[in-house]
Amino acid sequence: MGGTQLNKYVAGIGINKAAIITYYAYTNLVGEFTKYPEARELTIAAARKLYGICSFEENQTCKAWSACNIGQYCEPCEFVPIAWGCDAQVRSNPTNVEDLEFKKRTMKVYPNPTKSELFVNFGELTLGDRQNLNLAIEIFDVNGKLLVSKIPDVNDVEVRLEVSKLVPGIYLLRINGYLYNNSIRFIKE
């Protein structure tokens, strides 16, 4: 929703993203005796972990705490290492195509060859990256016939594909999305 509080403007990120950040922070980072200033740092760390360094979501989470008079007001892409497990470098443009290309190259498909199941691991792609890419996974036979089609849940870091019913042979796994298209051959034993 967003708004202005204490003369500090906060743009809305949406109730779903706010809930995801809060849930992640309070189930993975925040302890029983955490005080507000530390909770601020940990929810900002959660936003960074889920949506990437210098993301809109990270910045607005920081600004929201500041608007509640907890912590300093955050400028876009201000970076200070704030929690264990977060990256320790600044990326001046979080939507940088080169950065996204690197992250997409970290995706892995395994095992190959396989007998019963195939896994697609999204590697370094953050939740925000997966939401923006809008990925779909398809398996084709050598004749180009579509055999399997799956749209992974954006919360999944890894997707399991059941391939035990495929006859032994060579197949093409295609991962499609906005600004992304990759095909990988695999062998079904």
pLDDT of residue 89: 36
> Alpha-carbon distance 28 to 26, whole Å?
6
CB-CB contact of 111 with 155 (8 Å) = no
Are residues 129 and 65 part of one domain?
A: no
pLDDT of residue 84: 38
pLDDT of residue 94: 38
Question: Which helix (DSSP H) or strand (DSSP E) does residue 39 occupy?
Answer: helix 36-51
pLDDT of residue 107: 81
- Provide CB contacts within 8 A for 147, sequence distance 6+: 139, 140, 141, 166, 171
pLDDT of residue 162: 95
Domain that holds residue 142: 97-188
**In this structure, how many other beta carbons lie within 10 angstroms of the beta carbon of residue 106?**
11
> Alpha-carbon distance 172 to 184, whole Å?
6
Q: What CATH number is given to the structural domain containing 25?
A: 1.10.390.10
Are residues 102 and 14 part of one domain?
A: no
Q: Give me 84's structure tokens.
A: 């264990």
pLDDT of residue 92: 34
> Alpha-carbon distance 121 to 64, whole Å?
33
pLDDT of residue 78: 42
> Alpha-carbon distance 96 to 173, whole Å?
27
Q: What CATH number is given to the structural domain containing 112?
A: 2.60.40.3080
Residue ending a domain, choose from 94, 128, 160: 94
Residue ending a domain, choose from 94, 118, 139: 94
Q: Which residues of 112-131 are buried (b: 16+ CB within 10 A; e: fewer)?
A: eebeeebebebeebbbbbbe
Q: What is the pLDDT along the chain (189 residues), one digit of tens a residue?
A: 677 777 778 888 888 889 999 888 888 778 878 888 888 888 888 888 888 777 888 888 888 898 888 887 776 554 444 343 333 333 333 344 555 666 666 788 999 999 999 999 988 777 777 777 778 899 988 888 889 999 898 888 899 999 999 999 999 998 887 667 778 889 999
> Alpha-carbon distance 70 to 66, whole Å?
5
pLDDT of residue 52: 78
Query: Count of domains in the chain?
Result: 2
